[in-house]
Structure 1
Amino acid sequence: MMPLLTTKGLSRNFGGLRAVANVDFAMMPGEIRAVIGPNGAGKTTFVSLVSGRIQPSSGMVVFDGADITNLPAYARVRLGVAYTFQITSVFANLSVYDNVALPVQRTLTDGRSKGAVRTGVMAALERTGLADRTHMLAGQLSYGHQRLLEVAMGLALKPRLLILDEPTQGLADSEIDNFIELVRDIARSATVLLIEHNMPVVMQLADRITVFNAGKILAEGTPEQIRANTEVQDAYLGATP
Protein backbone atom coordinates (compact mmCIF):
# COMPACT_ATOMS: atom_id res chain seq x y z
CA MET A 1 0.00 0.00 0.00
CA MET A 2 1.29 3.45 -0.94
CA PRO A 3 1.29 6.34 1.57
CA LEU A 4 -1.56 8.80 1.15
CA LEU A 5 0.61 11.72 2.25
CA THR A 6 4.37 12.16 1.98
CA THR A 7 6.64 15.12 2.58
CA LYS A 8 10.26 15.19 1.44
CA GLY A 9 12.75 17.68 2.84
CA LEU A 10 9.90 20.02 3.72
CA SER A 11 11.13 23.32 5.16
CA ARG A 12 9.74 26.75 5.97
CA ASN A 13 11.71 29.80 7.04
CA PHE A 14 10.31 32.97 8.57
CA GLY A 15 13.14 35.45 8.27
CA GLY A 16 15.98 33.93 10.27
CA LEU A 17 13.75 31.38 11.97
CA ARG A 18 13.51 27.90 10.48
CA ALA A 19 10.07 26.82 11.70
CA VAL A 20 10.13 23.50 9.82
CA ALA A 21 13.46 21.95 8.82
CA ASN A 22 13.89 19.16 6.24
CA VAL A 23 10.93 17.07 7.38
CA ASP A 24 10.43 13.65 5.78
CA PHE A 25 7.01 12.32 6.77
CA ALA A 26 4.60 9.64 5.52
CA MET A 27 1.03 8.61 6.41
CA MET A 28 -0.81 5.52 5.28
CA PRO A 29 -4.49 5.60 4.20
CA GLY A 30 -6.91 5.14 7.09
CA GLU A 31 -4.33 6.02 9.72
CA ILE A 32 -4.91 8.24 12.73
CA ARG A 33 -1.64 10.11 13.24
CA ALA A 34 -1.04 12.49 16.12
CA VAL A 35 1.53 15.28 15.94
CA ILE A 36 2.76 16.43 19.34
CA GLY A 37 5.54 18.62 20.70
CA PRO A 38 6.20 21.72 22.79
CA ASN A 39 4.89 25.14 21.82
CA GLY A 40 6.91 26.56 18.95
CA ALA A 41 8.01 23.11 17.77
CA GLY A 42 6.66 23.67 14.23
CA LYS A 43 3.52 21.55 14.38
CA THR A 44 1.01 24.08 13.04
CA THR A 45 3.48 25.36 10.45
CA PHE A 46 3.93 21.78 9.24
CA VAL A 47 0.22 21.07 8.80
CA SER A 48 -0.23 24.51 7.21
CA LEU A 49 2.35 23.46 4.62
CA VAL A 50 0.50 20.19 4.04
CA SER A 51 -2.86 21.96 3.60
CA GLY A 52 -1.49 24.70 1.36
CA ARG A 53 -2.23 27.46 3.82
CA ILE A 54 1.40 28.54 3.47
CA GLN A 55 4.03 27.63 0.89
CA PRO A 56 7.33 25.88 1.73
CA SER A 57 10.74 27.48 1.43
CA SER A 58 11.94 24.14 0.05
CA GLY A 59 10.91 20.51 -0.18
CA MET A 60 7.91 18.65 -1.54
CA VAL A 61 4.38 17.57 -0.54
CA VAL A 62 2.96 14.49 -2.28
CA PHE A 63 -0.70 13.47 -1.91
CA ASP A 64 -1.88 10.14 -3.31
CA GLY A 65 1.16 9.97 -5.56
CA ALA A 66 0.77 13.49 -7.01
CA ASP A 67 3.09 16.44 -6.31
CA ILE A 68 0.84 19.11 -4.75
CA THR A 69 3.64 21.36 -3.45
CA ASN A 70 2.61 24.34 -5.56
CA LEU A 71 -1.17 23.89 -5.35
CA PRO A 72 -3.16 26.49 -3.37
CA ALA A 73 -5.33 25.39 -0.46
CA TYR A 74 -8.61 25.45 -2.43
CA ALA A 75 -7.15 23.07 -5.04
CA ARG A 76 -6.04 20.71 -2.28
CA VAL A 77 -9.58 20.75 -0.87
CA ARG A 78 -10.82 19.49 -4.25
CA LEU A 79 -8.34 16.62 -3.99
CA GLY A 80 -9.66 15.75 -0.54
CA VAL A 81 -7.42 17.63 1.92
CA ALA A 82 -9.42 19.49 4.58
CA TYR A 83 -7.83 21.57 7.35
CA THR A 84 -10.19 22.77 10.05
CA PHE A 85 -8.49 26.11 10.67
CA GLN A 86 -7.97 26.98 7.00
CA ILE A 87 -11.14 25.63 5.39
CA THR A 88 -13.74 25.91 8.12
CA SER A 89 -13.77 29.36 9.67
CA VAL A 90 -17.00 29.71 11.62
CA PHE A 91 -19.29 32.46 10.36
CA ALA A 92 -20.62 33.83 13.63
CA ASN A 93 -23.67 35.56 12.12
CA LEU A 94 -24.84 32.52 10.14
CA SER A 95 -26.75 29.61 11.60
CA VAL A 96 -25.05 26.33 12.38
CA TYR A 97 -26.95 24.83 9.44
CA ASP A 98 -25.78 27.49 6.99
CA ASN A 99 -22.16 27.18 8.13
CA VAL A 100 -22.18 23.52 7.14
CA ALA A 101 -24.28 24.06 4.01
CA LEU A 102 -21.49 26.16 2.47
CA PRO A 103 -18.91 23.32 2.29
CA VAL A 104 -21.61 20.77 1.41
CA GLN A 105 -22.45 22.79 -1.69
CA ARG A 106 -18.83 22.54 -2.81
CA THR A 107 -19.10 18.75 -2.94
CA LEU A 108 -22.27 18.63 -5.05
CA THR A 109 -22.40 18.74 -8.83
CA ASP A 110 -25.72 20.54 -8.43
CA GLY A 111 -25.25 22.70 -5.35
CA ARG A 112 -28.77 24.10 -5.68
CA SER A 113 -30.48 20.84 -4.74
CA LYS A 114 -31.98 21.65 -1.33
CA GLY A 115 -32.63 18.01 -0.55
CA ALA A 116 -29.03 16.98 -1.24
CA VAL A 117 -27.69 19.93 0.75
CA ARG A 118 -29.91 19.13 3.73
CA THR A 119 -28.88 15.48 3.67
CA GLY A 120 -25.21 16.43 3.68
CA VAL A 121 -25.61 19.05 6.39
CA MET A 122 -27.58 16.86 8.75
CA ALA A 123 -25.20 13.93 8.30
CA ALA A 124 -22.26 16.10 9.38
CA LEU A 125 -24.16 17.67 12.28
CA GLU A 126 -25.43 14.34 13.55
CA ARG A 127 -21.92 12.89 13.54
CA THR A 128 -20.63 15.81 15.61
CA GLY A 129 -23.58 15.95 18.02
CA LEU A 130 -24.84 19.33 16.82
CA ALA A 131 -28.05 18.27 15.08
CA ASP A 132 -30.19 19.87 17.80
CA ARG A 133 -28.49 23.25 17.27
CA THR A 134 -29.11 23.72 13.54
CA HIS A 135 -30.93 27.05 13.87
CA MET A 136 -28.61 28.64 16.43
CA LEU A 137 -26.24 31.34 15.29
CA ALA A 138 -22.73 29.92 15.23
CA GLY A 139 -21.51 32.83 17.35
CA GLN A 140 -23.89 31.79 20.13
CA LEU A 141 -22.33 28.35 20.48
CA SER A 142 -19.89 27.67 23.28
CA TYR A 143 -16.25 27.68 22.21
CA GLY A 144 -16.12 23.90 22.41
CA HIS A 145 -19.19 23.55 20.21
CA GLN A 146 -17.71 26.01 17.72
CA ARG A 147 -14.73 23.65 17.48
CA LEU A 148 -17.11 20.77 16.79
CA LEU A 149 -18.84 22.91 14.16
CA GLU A 150 -15.46 23.36 12.48
CA VAL A 151 -15.08 19.58 12.43
CA ALA A 152 -18.58 19.25 10.95
CA MET A 153 -17.65 21.73 8.22
CA GLY A 154 -14.52 19.74 7.48
CA LEU A 155 -16.53 16.49 7.32
CA ALA A 156 -18.99 18.15 4.95
CA LEU A 157 -16.17 18.39 2.40
CA LYS A 158 -15.97 14.56 2.37
CA PRO A 159 -12.21 14.66 2.85
CA ARG A 160 -9.74 11.88 2.23
CA LEU A 161 -7.37 13.56 4.69
CA LEU A 162 -8.83 15.56 7.59
CA ILE A 163 -6.35 17.72 9.52
CA LEU A 164 -7.51 18.72 13.00
CA ASP A 165 -5.54 21.35 14.92
CA GLU A 166 -6.20 21.20 18.69
CA PRO A 167 -9.81 19.99 18.25
CA THR A 168 -10.45 19.15 21.92
CA GLN A 169 -9.52 22.63 23.14
CA GLY A 170 -12.58 24.02 24.87
CA LEU A 171 -14.41 20.69 25.09
CA ALA A 172 -15.76 19.57 28.44
CA ASP A 173 -14.46 16.28 29.81
CA SER A 174 -17.87 14.74 29.10
CA GLU A 175 -17.57 15.77 25.44
CA ILE A 176 -14.06 14.42 24.92
CA ASP A 177 -15.15 10.77 25.06
CA ASN A 178 -17.69 11.48 22.31
CA PHE A 179 -14.99 13.25 20.31
CA ILE A 180 -12.71 10.21 20.53
CA GLU A 181 -15.49 8.02 19.16
CA LEU A 182 -16.14 10.60 16.41
CA VAL A 183 -12.52 10.51 15.23
CA ARG A 184 -12.55 6.71 15.21
CA ASP A 185 -15.70 6.88 13.10
CA ILE A 186 -14.12 9.41 10.72
CA ALA A 187 -11.10 7.13 10.30
CA ARG A 188 -13.32 4.45 8.77
CA SER A 189 -13.62 6.60 5.65
CA ALA A 190 -10.75 9.10 5.90
CA THR A 191 -7.20 9.53 7.14
CA VAL A 192 -6.83 11.79 10.19
CA LEU A 193 -3.86 14.01 11.05
CA LEU A 194 -4.29 15.43 14.53
CA ILE A 195 -2.36 18.11 16.43
CA GLU A 196 -3.28 17.68 20.07
CA HIS A 197 -1.90 18.64 23.48
CA ASN A 198 -4.31 16.43 25.44
CA MET A 199 -2.06 13.43 25.92
CA PRO A 200 -4.72 10.98 27.15
CA VAL A 201 -6.63 11.72 23.91
CA VAL A 202 -3.47 11.21 21.85
CA MET A 203 -2.63 7.94 23.56
CA GLN A 204 -6.17 6.59 23.09
CA LEU A 205 -6.60 7.67 19.48
CA ALA A 206 -3.33 7.58 17.60
CA ASP A 207 -2.09 4.60 15.61
CA ARG A 208 1.25 6.38 15.45
CA ILE A 209 2.66 9.58 16.93
CA THR A 210 5.11 12.04 15.40
CA VAL A 211 6.97 14.24 17.87
CA PHE A 212 8.22 17.63 16.66
CA ASN A 213 10.89 19.66 18.41
CA ALA A 214 12.63 22.78 17.08
CA GLY A 215 11.12 22.30 13.61
CA LYS A 216 12.33 18.72 13.21
CA ILE A 217 10.93 15.26 13.85
CA LEU A 218 12.38 14.09 17.16
CA ALA A 219 10.72 10.68 17.18
CA GLU A 220 7.97 8.57 15.62
CA GLY A 221 6.28 5.43 16.82
CA THR A 222 3.32 3.83 18.50
CA PRO A 223 1.90 5.41 21.65
CA GLU A 224 3.77 2.80 23.72
CA GLN A 225 7.07 3.55 21.96
CA ILE A 226 6.64 7.31 22.36
CA ARG A 227 5.69 7.02 26.01
CA ALA A 228 8.88 5.02 26.66
CA ASN A 229 11.19 7.29 24.60
CA THR A 230 13.56 9.13 26.96
CA GLU A 231 14.30 11.90 24.42
CA VAL A 232 10.57 12.62 24.11
CA GLN A 233 10.17 12.59 27.88
CA ASP A 234 12.95 15.14 28.23
CA ALA A 235 11.67 17.39 25.42
CA TYR A 236 7.94 17.23 26.01
CA LEU A 237 6.19 14.55 27.99
CA GLY A 238 8.00 14.93 31.29
CA ALA A 239 6.14 12.90 33.87
CA THR A 240 3.11 12.19 31.69
CA PRO A 241 1.62 8.93 33.03
Structure 2
Amino acid sequence: MKPLLTTSGLSRRFGGLRAVDDVDFTLMPGEIRGIIGPNGAGKTTFVSLLCGRILPSTGTVMFDGADITGLPAFRRVRRGIAYTFQITSVFAKLSAYDNVALPVQRRLSDSRSTASIRSGVMGALERTGLADRASMPAGELAYGHQRLLEVAMGLALKPRLLILDEPTQGLSDGEIENFIDLVRDIARDATVLIIEHNMPVVMQLAGRITVFDAGRILAEGTPHEIRADLRVQDAYLGTQHG
Protein backbone atom coordinates (compact mmCIF):
# COMPACT_ATOMS: atom_id res chain seq x y z
CA MET A 1 0.00 0.00 0.00
CA LYS A 2 1.34 3.42 -0.97
CA PRO A 3 1.35 6.30 1.53
CA LEU A 4 -1.46 8.83 1.20
CA LEU A 5 0.71 11.69 2.41
CA THR A 6 4.42 12.16 3.04
CA THR A 7 6.66 15.05 3.97
CA SER A 8 10.41 15.20 3.41
CA GLY A 9 12.67 17.68 5.17
CA LEU A 10 9.67 19.89 5.88
CA SER A 11 10.60 23.09 7.71
CA ARG A 12 9.00 26.42 8.45
CA ARG A 13 10.89 29.34 9.94
CA PHE A 14 9.42 32.48 11.43
CA GLY A 15 12.39 34.81 11.72
CA GLY A 16 14.93 32.91 13.79
CA LEU A 17 12.35 30.40 15.10
CA ARG A 18 12.12 26.98 13.46
CA ALA A 19 8.49 26.18 14.20
CA VAL A 20 8.77 23.00 12.11
CA ASP A 21 12.28 21.62 11.74
CA ASP A 22 13.21 19.06 9.06
CA VAL A 23 10.21 16.76 9.50
CA ASP A 24 9.90 13.47 7.60
CA PHE A 25 6.37 12.10 8.05
CA THR A 26 4.32 9.31 6.46
CA LEU A 27 0.57 8.79 6.66
CA MET A 28 -1.06 5.65 5.27
CA PRO A 29 -4.58 5.45 3.79
CA GLY A 30 -7.28 4.63 6.33
CA GLU A 31 -5.22 5.57 9.38
CA ILE A 32 -6.42 7.45 12.41
CA ARG A 33 -3.18 9.19 13.38
CA GLY A 34 -2.84 11.23 16.54
CA ILE A 35 -0.50 14.18 16.87
CA ILE A 36 0.42 15.26 20.39
CA GLY A 37 3.03 17.42 22.06
CA PRO A 38 3.42 20.34 24.45
CA ASN A 39 2.17 23.81 23.58
CA GLY A 40 4.48 25.45 21.06
CA ALA A 41 5.78 22.10 19.77
CA GLY A 42 4.86 22.94 16.16
CA LYS A 43 1.78 20.74 15.76
CA THR A 44 -0.58 23.33 14.30
CA THR A 45 2.15 24.83 12.11
CA PHE A 46 2.84 21.34 10.77
CA VAL A 47 -0.75 20.62 9.78
CA SER A 48 -1.05 24.15 8.37
CA LEU A 49 1.80 23.19 6.04
CA LEU A 50 -0.07 20.03 5.05
CA CYS A 51 -3.27 21.85 4.14
CA GLY A 52 -1.62 24.86 2.48
CA ARG A 53 -2.61 27.44 5.02
CA ILE A 54 1.08 28.39 5.06
CA LEU A 55 3.92 27.32 2.76
CA PRO A 56 7.18 25.72 3.92
CA SER A 57 10.57 27.39 4.06
CA THR A 58 12.12 24.15 2.80
CA GLY A 59 11.02 20.58 2.13
CA THR A 60 8.23 18.87 0.22
CA VAL A 61 4.66 17.64 0.77
CA MET A 62 3.39 14.74 -1.35
CA PHE A 63 -0.28 13.73 -1.47
CA ASP A 64 -1.40 10.59 -3.29
CA GLY A 65 1.89 10.55 -5.20
CA ALA A 66 1.71 14.18 -6.37
CA ASP A 67 3.89 17.06 -5.19
CA ILE A 68 1.51 19.60 -3.61
CA THR A 69 4.18 21.66 -1.82
CA GLY A 70 3.37 24.87 -3.68
CA LEU A 71 -0.38 24.44 -4.07
CA PRO A 72 -2.69 26.96 -2.38
CA ALA A 73 -5.17 25.70 0.19
CA PHE A 74 -8.23 25.76 -2.07
CA ARG A 75 -6.53 23.47 -4.58
CA ARG A 76 -5.62 21.05 -1.82
CA VAL A 77 -9.27 21.02 -0.73
CA ARG A 78 -10.19 19.99 -4.28
CA ARG A 79 -7.70 17.14 -4.06
CA GLY A 80 -9.38 15.90 -0.89
CA ILE A 81 -7.62 17.53 2.07
CA ALA A 82 -9.98 19.14 4.60
CA TYR A 83 -8.66 20.99 7.65
CA THR A 84 -11.41 22.08 10.00
CA PHE A 85 -9.82 25.37 11.00
CA GLN A 86 -8.72 26.17 7.46
CA ILE A 87 -11.81 25.54 5.39
CA THR A 88 -14.32 26.36 8.07
CA SER A 89 -14.84 29.55 9.89
CA VAL A 90 -18.31 29.30 11.31
CA PHE A 91 -20.47 32.11 9.95
CA ALA A 92 -22.20 33.23 13.12
CA LYS A 93 -25.26 34.82 11.52
CA LEU A 94 -25.96 31.94 9.15
CA SER A 95 -27.85 28.88 10.30
CA ALA A 96 -26.02 25.64 10.92
CA TYR A 97 -27.69 24.32 7.75
CA ASP A 98 -26.42 27.21 5.62
CA ASN A 99 -22.90 26.87 7.04
CA VAL A 100 -22.74 23.27 5.86
CA ALA A 101 -24.46 24.08 2.56
CA LEU A 102 -21.47 26.20 1.50
CA PRO A 103 -18.95 23.32 1.30
CA VAL A 104 -21.64 21.01 -0.12
CA GLN A 105 -22.21 23.47 -2.96
CA ARG A 106 -18.45 23.63 -3.53
CA ARG A 107 -18.29 19.85 -3.83
CA LEU A 108 -21.41 19.62 -6.01
CA SER A 109 -20.30 22.27 -8.49
CA ASP A 110 -21.72 20.19 -11.33
CA SER A 111 -25.01 19.42 -9.57
CA ARG A 112 -26.61 22.18 -7.54
CA SER A 113 -30.10 20.73 -7.22
CA THR A 114 -31.86 21.56 -3.98
CA ALA A 115 -32.36 17.86 -3.21
CA SER A 116 -28.66 17.04 -3.68
CA ILE A 117 -27.60 19.93 -1.47
CA ARG A 118 -30.12 19.10 1.24
CA SER A 119 -29.05 15.45 1.27
CA GLY A 120 -25.39 16.42 1.67
CA VAL A 121 -26.10 18.96 4.39
CA MET A 122 -28.41 16.84 6.49
CA GLY A 123 -26.14 13.82 6.15
CA ALA A 124 -23.24 15.78 7.64
CA LEU A 125 -25.40 17.32 10.37
CA GLU A 126 -26.86 13.94 11.33
CA ARG A 127 -23.41 12.35 11.58
CA THR A 128 -22.27 15.09 13.97
CA GLY A 129 -25.49 15.07 16.04
CA LEU A 130 -26.57 18.53 14.94
CA ALA A 131 -29.56 17.74 12.74
CA ASP A 132 -32.00 19.08 15.34
CA ARG A 133 -30.09 22.37 15.40
CA ALA A 134 -30.03 22.86 11.64
CA SER A 135 -32.08 26.06 11.72
CA MET A 136 -30.19 27.68 14.61
CA PRO A 137 -27.82 30.56 13.87
CA ALA A 138 -24.32 29.15 14.24
CA GLY A 139 -23.37 31.94 16.66
CA GLU A 140 -26.07 30.77 19.08
CA LEU A 141 -24.74 27.23 19.27
CA ALA A 142 -22.77 26.22 22.34
CA TYR A 143 -19.01 26.37 21.79
CA GLY A 144 -18.70 22.59 21.62
CA HIS A 145 -21.47 22.42 19.04
CA GLN A 146 -19.73 25.08 16.96
CA ARG A 147 -16.69 22.80 16.93
CA LEU A 148 -18.89 19.91 15.77
CA LEU A 149 -20.34 22.20 13.10
CA GLU A 150 -16.81 22.74 11.81
CA VAL A 151 -16.41 18.96 11.60
CA ALA A 152 -19.72 18.74 9.72
CA MET A 153 -18.47 21.35 7.26
CA GLY A 154 -15.31 19.31 6.72
CA LEU A 155 -17.32 16.10 6.24
CA ALA A 156 -19.54 17.85 3.70
CA LEU A 157 -16.55 17.96 1.34
CA LYS A 158 -16.25 14.15 1.54
CA PRO A 159 -12.48 14.45 2.01
CA ARG A 160 -9.89 11.74 1.59
CA LEU A 161 -7.92 13.28 4.47
CA LEU A 162 -9.68 15.04 7.33
CA ILE A 163 -7.42 17.03 9.69
CA LEU A 164 -8.98 17.87 13.06
CA ASP A 165 -7.34 20.42 15.35
CA GLU A 166 -8.43 20.06 19.01
CA PRO A 167 -11.94 18.90 18.03
CA THR A 168 -13.09 17.82 21.51
CA GLN A 169 -12.41 21.16 23.17
CA GLY A 170 -15.67 22.37 24.72
CA LEU A 171 -17.47 19.03 24.42
CA SER A 172 -19.12 17.31 27.38
CA ASP A 173 -18.09 13.79 28.37
CA GLY A 174 -21.13 12.34 26.58
CA GLU A 175 -20.42 14.37 23.46
CA ILE A 176 -16.82 13.18 23.50
CA GLU A 177 -17.97 9.56 23.52
CA ASN A 178 -20.20 10.29 20.52
CA PHE A 179 -17.30 12.07 18.82
CA ILE A 180 -15.06 9.02 19.24
CA ASP A 181 -17.73 6.90 17.52
CA LEU A 182 -18.01 9.54 14.78
CA VAL A 183 -14.27 9.52 14.02
CA ARG A 184 -14.25 5.73 13.82
CA ASP A 185 -17.15 5.96 11.38
CA ILE A 186 -15.36 8.62 9.31
CA ALA A 187 -12.26 6.41 9.14
CA ARG A 188 -14.20 3.78 7.20
CA ASP A 189 -13.83 5.88 4.06
CA ALA A 190 -11.28 8.59 4.93
CA THR A 191 -7.94 9.05 6.64
CA VAL A 192 -8.02 11.09 9.85
CA LEU A 193 -5.22 13.18 11.35
CA ILE A 194 -6.13 14.54 14.77
CA ILE A 195 -4.31 17.02 17.01
CA GLU A 196 -5.66 16.54 20.49
CA HIS A 197 -4.66 17.34 24.06
CA ASN A 198 -7.26 14.98 25.55
CA MET A 199 -5.02 11.96 25.98
CA PRO A 200 -7.77 9.38 26.65
CA VAL A 201 -9.33 10.39 23.30
CA VAL A 202 -6.01 10.02 21.46
CA MET A 203 -5.26 6.69 23.11
CA GLN A 204 -8.70 5.31 22.22
CA LEU A 205 -8.76 6.52 18.63
CA ALA A 206 -5.28 6.53 17.16
CA GLY A 207 -3.64 3.46 15.70
CA ARG A 208 -0.36 5.37 15.73
CA ILE A 209 0.69 8.57 17.48
CA THR A 210 3.29 11.12 16.40
CA VAL A 211 4.81 13.23 19.18
CA PHE A 212 6.17 16.68 18.36
CA ASP A 213 8.60 18.62 20.51
CA ALA A 214 10.42 21.83 19.56
CA GLY A 215 9.36 21.53 15.92
CA ARG A 216 10.66 17.99 15.46
CA ILE A 217 9.20 14.50 15.71
CA LEU A 218 10.29 13.18 19.09
CA ALA A 219 8.65 9.75 18.80
CA GLU A 220 6.16 7.69 16.82
CA GLY A 221 4.40 4.49 17.71
CA THR A 222 1.30 2.75 18.96
CA PRO A 223 -0.50 4.16 21.99
CA HIS A 224 1.15 1.49 24.13
CA GLU A 225 4.62 2.38 22.81
CA ILE A 226 4.05 6.10 23.31
CA ARG A 227 2.83 5.60 26.89
CA ALA A 228 6.00 3.63 27.66
CA ASP A 229 8.45 6.03 25.94
CA LEU A 230 10.54 7.77 28.59
CA ARG A 231 11.38 10.67 26.25
CA VAL A 232 7.69 11.32 25.73
CA GLN A 233 7.01 11.12 29.44
CA ASP A 234 9.71 13.67 30.12
CA ALA A 235 8.69 16.04 27.35
CA TYR A 236 4.93 15.80 27.56
CA LEU A 237 2.98 13.11 29.33
CA GLY A 238 4.51 13.70 32.72
CA THR A 239 3.42 17.34 32.78
CA GLN A 240 0.32 17.04 30.61
CA HIS A 241 -3.04 17.69 32.20
CA GLY A 242 -6.52 17.27 30.79
Q: TM-score, normalised by structure 1?
A: 0.98
- What secondary structure is seen at the aligned counterpart in 1 of 2:24? strand
Cα deviations by residue, 1:104-152 (Å, 9 ceiling, x for unpaired): 0111143531000000000000000000001000000000000000000
Alignment of 1:133-144 (within 5 A): 133-144=133-144
Alignment of 1:159-178 (within 5 A): 159-178=159-178
Q: What's 1:25 paired with?
A: 25
Deviation at 1:209, TM superposition (A): 0.1
Partner Cα separation in structure 2 for residue 144 and residue 108 of structure 1: 28
Paired AA for residue 136 in structure 2: M
- 1:58 has 2:58 as partner: yes
Q: What's 1:193 paired with?
A: 193
Cα deviations by residue, 1:56-95 (Å, 9 ceiling, x for unpaired): 0000000000000000000000000000000011000000
Q: What's 1:219 paired with?
A: 219
- What secondary structure is seen at the aligned counterpart in 2 of 1:184? helix
Partner Cα separation in structure 2 for residue 55 and residue 110 of structure 1: 30
Alignment of 1:85-96 (within 5 A): 85-96=85-96
- What secondary structure is seen at the aligned counterpart in 2 of 1:3? coil
- 1:45 has 2:45 as partner: yes
Partner Cα separation in structure 2 for residue 207 and residue 161 of structure 1: 16
Partner Cα separation in structure 1 for residue 239 and residue 150 of structure 2: 32
- 1:97 has 2:97 as partner: yes
Q: What's 2:36 paired with?
A: 36
Paired AA for residue 40 in structure 1: G
- What secondary structure is seen at the aligned counterpart in 1 of 2:61? strand
Partner Cα separation in structure 1 for residue 65 and residue 174 of structure 2: 40
Partner Cα separation in structure 2 for residue 225 and residue 189 of structure 1: 27
Deviation at 1:162, TM superposition (A): 0.2
Cα deviations by residue, 1:146-195 (Å, 9 ceiling, x for unpaired): 00000000000010000000000000111000000000000001000000
* Unpaired runs of at least 5, structure 1: none
Partner Cα separation in structure 2 for residue 231 and residue 180 of structure 1: 27
Deviation at 1:205, TM superposition (A): 0.2
CA RMSD in angstroms, aligned pairs only? 1.1
Q: What's 1:80 paired with?
A: 80
Partner Cα separation in structure 1 for residue 101 and residue 27 of structure 2: 30
Q: What's 1:106 paired with?
A: 106
Q: What's 1:129 paired with?
A: 129
* Unpaired runs of at least 5, structure 2: none
The count of corresponding residues between Structure 1 and Structure 2 is: 241
Paired AA for residue 104 in structure 2: V
- What secondary structure is seen at the aligned counterpart in 2 of 1:35? strand
- What secondary structure is seen at the aligned counterpart in 2 of 1:21? strand
Instruction: Go from structure 1 to structure 2 and tell me whether the alpha carbon gap of 1:111 and 1:72 turns closer, same or farther (over 3 Å shift).
Output: same
Deviation at 1:239, TM superposition (A): 6.9
Paired AA for residue 124 in structure 2: A
Q: TM-score, normalised by structure 2?
A: 0.98
Cα deviations by residue, 1:1-44 (Å, 9 ceiling, x for unpaired): 00001000000000010000000000100000000000000000
Partner Cα separation in structure 2 for residue 32 and residue 202 of structure 1: 9
Partner Cα separation in structure 2 for residue 209 and residue 112 of structure 1: 39
Q: What's 2:148 paired with?
A: 148
